[in-house]
Structure 1
Amino acid sequence: MSGSRYHQRLIISWDQLHRDVRELCQRLVERDIKGIVAITRGGLIPAALIARELDVRLIDTVCIKSYERMEQGGLEVLKGVDHDGEGWLLVDDLVDTGRTARAVRQMLPKAHFVTVYAKPEGKPLVDQYLTEVAQDCWIQFPWDMGVAYVEPLVDQEKR
């Protein structure tokens, strides 16, 4: 867990992420969606899963780099889009403090903004989310983890 502001941890497996995205999609299936805009990088995998479930073929990205270690925590837009989001689904994995969400919301004010997970500070910025998690919870996403062999305890004791 990075930083001292996190006191809880939520580990999301690939299976859990897929189930959560499918449940979110059940709430989106009736929407008329022109395309999806994924917020990179966290929104890429949820956007791909949503595209599959809703049969959306047009996918774009908004690429933002954040500088959390700088005092003011600046954001740099590396790639935007050339529309206001009308009819588009804007997707991210998580809304946390809302810094990135605020910037993207200004770029795409008419998009329908969804995240799979939302924390209290950021959730007012999105139109829909599936699961609320505590502000002090660190979410460990499956793409940030690796599977490793763990020796049985009995073998560890023999050393």
Structure 2
Amino acid sequence: MLSEDGKNMYVSWDEYHALIEKLALKIHKSGWEFDQILCLARGGTRPGDVLSRVFDRPLAIMSTSSYASGANAERSRVEIAHYITMPRGELSGRVLLVDDLADSGETLRAVADRLRAGPLNITELRTAVIWVKGISTVLPDYYVEMLPSSPWIHQPFEEYDTLRPAKLAERWKF
């Protein structure tokens, strides 16, 4: 739900999962067949996991960071892990690169550039996100919502950014 000022968008778990399912349908309707999914952790982990299960494709993970932790954090420089984690083999063939959103587009662009320039045998790379902000310089191949006002998206898992074990123990009476 978008706030009245258009600066914040609040997403429930149900809405979040529905958006991932809509993303899966957009990818499916395109007719594009891919071999593997590479999700960008942390934001792309949940969408990548669901898409991996729906399409029955192997999931690889690459850790990236472009924000300091916490809600409404400021963007910083893009940091990309040197390694891709996957159960076997290496990333190759037709790869679907998944993240939760294209904010500025810098992370998607940097990762895509690295993958295309690297020694991997990737024959085709496409990108998929739930949201694209109006300020993004990258338009992913697949997305569910375009957000022209570029609001801050409050995702349902953000409560864990500040929730610590002592607070959990209090919540669950441990």
Query: What residue is the counterpart of 2:53 in the other structure?
Result: 52
Question: Runs of 5+ in structure 2 lacking a partner?
Answer: 69-74, 85-89, 117-123, 161-174
Q: Distance in 1 between matches of 2:125 and 2:150?
A: 28
Aligned partners of 2:106 and 2:137 also within 8 Å: no
Task: Tell me the secondary structure at the aligned position of residue 20 of structure 2.
Answer: helix
Q: Select 1:107's aligned residue among 103, 114, 122.
A: 114
TM-score for both structures, normalised by structure 1: 0.74
Q: Alpha carbons of 1:66 and 1:23: their partners in 2 closer, same or farther (altered >3 Å)?
A: closer
Alpha-carbon distance between aligned partners in 2 of 1:102 and 1:80, rounded to the nearest angstrom: 17
- 70, 76, 79: which one pairs with 1:73? 76
CA contact (8 A) 1:89 1:113 kept: yes
Q: 1:9 to 1:67 in 2, by over 3 A?
A: closer
Alpha-carbon distance, 1:65 to partner: 2.7
User: Which is greater in Rg?
Assistant: 1
For 1:79-94, list aligned pairs within 5 A: 79-81=82-84, 83=91, 86-94=93-101
Report the Cα distance in structure 2 between the residues aligned to 1:78 and 1:61, rounded to whole angstroms.
Answer: 10
Matching residue of 2:15: 16
Matched positions, count:
136
What SS does the aligned partner of 2:34 have? coil
- The Cα shift of 1:67 comes to 6.1
1:63–1:135 CA distance, 2 compared to 1 (3 A): farther
Query: What is the Cα deviation at residue 123 of structure 1?
Result: 5.9
Report if aligned partners of 1:24, 1:130 keep a CA contact under 8 Å in 2: yes
Gaps of 5+ in 1: 1-5, 147-159
Measure, in 1, the Cα distance between the counterparts of 2:134 and 2:150.
10
User: What corresponds to 2:131 in structure 1?
Assistant: 117
Letter in 2 for 1:88: V
Deviation of 1:94 (Å): 0.6
Superposition RMSD in Å: 2.4
Percent of residue pairs identical: 26
Q: Kindly tell me: are residues 32 and 136 of structure 1, through their superposed partners in 2, closer, same or farther at Cα, counting changes over 3 Å?
A: closer
